Amino acid sequence: MSLILLRHTRPDVDEGICYGRTDLSLCDDFDAEVERIDAELPDFTTIIASPLSRCLRLARALGERREIEVTVDTRVIEMNFGRWERMPWEIIPRDQLDAWRDNFLGAAPHGGESVKQLATRVQAALAEVARGPVPALVVTHAGVIKAALSAVGEADAWNAKTEFGHWRRITWPAL
């Protein structure tokens, strides 16, 4: 089944800040971005969104334009970075970053969520979405998109880059 994974537009936060669950406002170009995104997106029948306002606001704007109701799913929220939330990456203790690098899937030196926990909940959410009307639009975050790409077997998925306000299409079920 076809799923369209859309990353939210640019949040109003300084470069180099770690944020996951932090609820951030969006940059001033939001309305123009909605216009561009709506013109570029393929057709879809349902919209699922992260509960964070940077996703929900975009999902609702697209839903209004296409007359599609938005469903919120907490499982497509960004990773919880615990103590690292709102910290500049450059001041996060090196030993904590090394611990995460050395056990990328299982470690959670920040006290939040591990990448494996993120991947497990994302897979459950997308499996459920794929059982409903498709194609479905999932308005979400970079970490969730990486987890989805990993689940469908994309090489180097955890290093994949999806720019703000851009999307990827995947075929579910996962391999």
Quick: pLDDT tens for 39-85.
999 999 999 999 999 999 999 999 999 999 999 999 999 999 999 99
Among residues 83, 62, 71, 73, the alpha carbon closest in space to that of 20 is found at: 83
Quick: pLDDT tens for 99-144.
999 999 999 999 999 999 999 999 999 999 999 888 999 999 999 9
Query: What integer pLDDT is reported at residue 175 of this predicted model?
Result: 44
- How many distinct structural domains can be found in the chain? 1
Range of the domain at 76: 2-171
Q: Note whether 30 and 54 are within 8 A (CB).
A: no
Give the three-class secondary structure for 9. Answer: coil
Q: What is the pTM of this model?
A: 0.95
Q: Torsions phi, psi of 24, nearest 5?
A: -110, 150
| 152: amino acid identity, one letter | V
Kind and range of the H or E run holding 7: strand 2-7
Quick: pLDDT tens for 10-28.
999 999 999 999 999 999 9
Strand partners, 140: 7
Domain with 28 in it: what CATH number? 3.40.50.1240
Tokens of 74: 């907490």
